[in-house]
Amino acid sequence: MTTAYGGSGDLNRSMALLWHGKNRPSRGPTPTLSLERIVDAAVNLADREGLAALSMRSVAAELSVGTMSLYRYVPGKGELLDLMLDHVNGPVEELEGHRGKDWRGTMEFIARATWEMYNQHPWLLQVNQARPILGPNGLAAFDFALASLDGLGLHDREKVAVILAIDHYVTGTARTYILKQQAVEQSGITDEEFWAAQGPIIEKAFATGAYPEVSRLEEDVFNIDGEEALEFGLRPLLDGLESFVNSKRVR
Amino acid sequence: MTTAYGGSGDLNRSMALLWHGKNRPSRGPTPTLSLERIVDAAVNLADREGLAALSMRSVAAELSVGTMSLYRYVPGKGELLDLMLDHVNGPVEELEGHRGKDWRGTMEFIARATWEMYNQHPWLLQVNQARPILGPNGLAAFDFALASLDGLGLHDREKVAVILAIDHYVTGTARTYILKQQAVEQSGITDEEFWAAQGPIIEKAFATGAYPEVSRLEEDVFNIDGEEALEFGLRPLLDGLESFVNSKRVR
DNA sequence: TCATAATAGCGTACGTCGTACCCAGATCAA
DNA sequence: TTGATCTGGGTACGACGTACGCTATTATGA
């Protein structure tokens, strides 16, 4: 019912793992597992059955190994989540096709790519990414975003702030719509059933006159799908940022 | 490490509890607890020690009662979270002082109030509010927001979209900064220590030349506090929304 | 007045989780 | 061949949410 913490494990261990700080030891049995296979299996399982179903036992079962075998490769579940986070940021090849375009188009592209990432991996929204653990894939994406803002006369802090503002808007929107969609799929309760269940009680509340504005709303105001909502706010946000960028531009 | 699900329990039970559908039975011992006291204790505990520390056992201990006694008042932990969510939306009195002001000022007020709510109750960001359970306090806040957009020539769907766009931006920003701050407090690892730990590995990655933009950044670009970040993006977003509203205004 | 139905508090127990600890078997250096 | 070192993983512990059922308390109806 709550959020998992990425970055909750040993920081140095997570970083070392992210940057492939591994050197096969000379002695001992040849491993049957690998870090990649574990992270892969974990991501697949989370995509398929949700974060709640992701346990060390279930990941091990997915790989047909004993639970404790995972701990030969990963210090704990927190670090595994860190690795999963960077894993879904890659591969980065498709970014390259968008180099050199206008900054606004690139930002829109990044926003939609981020949305798409959340769509494919809704569990991302449930992982408390309190500390941005910098892995290779995440860094590459960030580097790409920065490059698109070159030559506009923005300071470093302003570039970062622009990128983050868009990311925060997309993430906030995804949190609402993609988690809702996931709830529909996992609980089996459709939106209609949900509102039908709330209806009678809400009607009574409306009858008191305490919520004049809400009760006056047309029925279908909440029938907006996620993508529509994303686009609706993205345009004004980019409009506003464009004004800001233009005001900074060297004349 | 993951997010809790509000609305995961029996929907009708949650709604009934939210709207005080209680009628003291005539027989039986007089209760020592009450729904309000339980929700209060749970919110206090979550505020103080974080969502991870919120268990049915710990809430019961907070109230000096047996764990299972809670189940006389609340069907389960999911429903308790639903109640906590609506609880922190109130009291609503302070909203009234802002009625009738210009819409943009009111929206800024709502944005900052939302931010403040996340600041006081960071665990809100970790609760998977997949379905908006409508309680009295949440409905009142929503009603207030709608009222401030009256008379601008917006359709219902547009009003709702404007409110949600701002909310999503604030929530996304809070997710980044407030959860980070919480991680600092709970892990005891400061930002300096965090970056110092990542430094050596990152330096090596930079040395490969794969991340030219990021490695060129000044050191202090990430030293932005949450409020600064909120304001930075809020202004362009409102600018953009203002243009949209003006384009819709009846001439 | 008293038996009875209804309710409150909660102890016990089950199945889940993350993971500490430890040992058996495999592999290579000496 | 021997010993060091490593992999796989079994067992067990203390957390969790909560189903079940017992005891004590209360107001009602006889």
Binned at pLDDT 50, 70 and 90, residue B232 comes out as very high
Binned at pLDDT 50, 70 and 90, residue A21 comes out as low
* Strand C and A54 CB separated by under 7 Å: yes
pLDDT digits (tens, 9 = 90+) for B175-207: 999 988 888 887 777 878 777 777 888 888 899
A residues 57..76 contacting B (CB < 8 A):
none
pTM, two decimal places: 0.92
Min mean pLDDT across A2-6, B93-97, B115-119 is at A2-6
Nearest nt (C1') to A63 (CA)?
D8
Asked if A205 is an interface residue toward chain B (Cβ–Cβ < 8 A), one would say yes
A232 within 8 A of B161, measured Cβ to Cβ? yes
pLDDT at B25: 72
Asked if A169 is an interface residue toward chain B (Cβ–Cβ < 8 A), one would say yes
Backbone angles phi, psi at B233, to 5 degrees: -90, -25
A87 within 8 A of A43, measured Cβ to Cβ? yes
As a whole number, the mean pLDDT across chain B is 88
pLDDT at B243: 97
CA of A26 to C1' of D4 (A): 11
CA of B118 to C1' of C15 (A): 35
pLDDT at B9: 56
pLDDT at A204: 87
A residues 82..121 contacting B (CB < 8 A):
none
Nearest nt (C1') to A27 (CA)?
C28
Task: List CB contacts (< 8 A) between A213 and chain B.
Answer: 142-144, 146-147, 150
Binned at pLDDT 50, 70 and 90, residue B7 comes out as low
Instruction: State percent of chain B over pLDDT 70.
Output: 90
Distance CA B68, CA B57 (A): 8
Of B126, B168, B197, the CB nearest to A2: B126
Min mean pLDDT across A161-165, B5-9, B91-95, B200-204 is at B5-9
- DSSP code at position A22: -
Nearest nt (C1') to B34 (CA)?
C8
pLDDT at B107: 96
Distance CA A219, CA A207 (A): 16
The backbone region for B224, taken as left when phi is positive above 0, alpha when psi lies in -120 to 50, beta otherwise, is: beta
Task: List CB contacts (< 8 A) between A143 and chain B.
Answer: 210-214
Binned at pLDDT 50, 70 and 90, residue B222 comes out as confident
Check A237 against B139: CB less than 8 A apart: no
DSSP, collapsed to helix, strand or coil, labels residue A185 as: helix
pLDDT average, residue stretch B106-112: 95
Distance CA B144, CA B234 (A): 20
Check B237 against A161: CB less than 8 A apart: no
pLDDT at A212: 95
Check A175 against B168: CB less than 8 A apart: yes
A122 preceded by a cis bond (ω within 30 of 0): no
Backbone angles phi, psi at B108, to 5 degrees: -60, -40
- Which whole-number Å values give the CA distances from A54 to A40, A180, B3, B84, in the listed order? 13, 19, 13, 26
Check B233 against A5: CB less than 8 A apart: no
Binned at pLDDT 50, 70 and 90, residue A196 comes out as confident
Residue A122 reports pLDDT greater than 80: yes
Residue A127 reports pLDDT greater than 60: yes
Indicate the residue type of A48.
R
CA of A174 to C1' of D19 (A): 36
pLDDT at A238: 98
Asked if A225 is an interface residue toward chain B (Cβ–Cβ < 8 A), one would say no
Task: List CB contacts (< 8 A) between B139 and chain A.
Answer: 205, 211, 214
List protein-proximal bases of chain C (any atom < 7 A from a CB): 5-12, 16-22, 25-29
